[in-house]
Amino acid sequence: MVMTIQDPASQRLTWYKPPLTVLVIKKVRDAMVIPPFIQLVKWFINQKRMVVFVESAIMDDPVLTRHPEFGHIKEKLMTFDEKKDDLTDKIDFCCCLGGDGTLLYASSLFQQSVPPIMAFHLGSLGFLTPFKFEDFEAQVTHVLEGHAALTLRSRLRCILMKKEEEETSAKPNTNQLVLNEVVIDRGPSPYLSNIDLYLDGKLITSVQGDGLIVSTPTGSTAYAVAAGASMIHPSVPAVMVTPICPHSLSFRPIVVPAGVELKICVSPDSRNTAWV
Task: Please identify every residue annotated as catalytic.
Answer: 100
Amino acid occupying residue 221: T
Beta-carbon-side half-sphere exposure of residue 156 (alpha carbons within 13 Å): 29
The residue type at 151: T
**Residues in CB range of 232: below 8 A, 6 or more apart:** 217, 220, 238, 240, 255
Report the half-sphere exposure of 5 (CA within 13 A, side-chain side).
Answer: 4
3 state SS of 263: strand
For the chain, the C-alpha Rg in angstroms (whole number) is: 21
Q: How far apart are CA 2 and CA 129, in angstroms?
A: 35
Give yes or no for a contact between 178 and 238, defined as CB atoms under 8 angstroms apart.
Answer: no
